[in-house]
Amino acid sequence: MSGSKSTEASIDHLGIAVRSIEQALGFYRDQLGLAVGPRETVVQEKVNVAMLPLEESRIELLEPTEEDSPVGKFLAKRGEGLHHVALKVPDLEAAVARLKNSGARLLNEPRAGAGGHLYVFVHPNSAGGVLLELIQG
């Protein structure tokens, strides 16, 4: 540990791509016993979302509303599975500026997503092979 930077980031949620939220709830809700929180459609991502609250983070089930969408393409290519990891950061603007300055590849400018929170996605090529979502804490 270098200890040079204190980020105060935390895991906000894990995004899981599924073909059908209803079908996935058969496992996560009915078999595993998790509660189901808010459900919504995020139009600009063409995705239906169900949030399953955990102790200090959440599971986000993602079901595409169209095949021609980021999650639809992910399912076609990779099948169901872990789609992204979302970190909550105290200052998203500063994080974005730092990443841009250091040449990291961002997939969008900060914008409002599920729950109205500002978010950006960082390309897996810049993040150790993981699609990373950063959310304003």
Q: Contact residues for Co ion (CB under 5 A)?
A: 15, 60, 86, 133
28 vs 44: CA distance, rounded Å: 26
C-alpha gyration radius of the chain: 15
Closest distance to Co ion from the beta carbon of 63 (Å)? 13
φ and ψ of 21, to 5 deg: -60, -40
Q: 129, 132, 84, 125: which is closest to 105 by C-alpha?
A: 125
Which residue number, 25 or 120, has a Cβ lying nearer to Co ion?
Answer: 120
Closest distance to Co ion from the beta carbon of 3 (Å)? 29
Which residue number, 16 or 25, has a Cβ lying nearer to Co ion?
Answer: 16
Closest distance to Co ion from the beta carbon of 18 (Å)? 13
Closest distance to Co ion from the beta carbon of 5 (Å)? 24
Which residue number, 60 or 63, has a Cβ lying nearer to Co ion?
Answer: 60
Which residue number, 1 or 99, has a Cβ lying nearer to Co ion?
Answer: 99
Residue whose CB is nearest to Co ion in the complex, by number: 15
What distance separates the 2 farthest-apart alpha carbons in the chain? 46
40 vs 107: CA distance, rounded Å: 22
57 vs 123: CA distance, rounded Å: 22
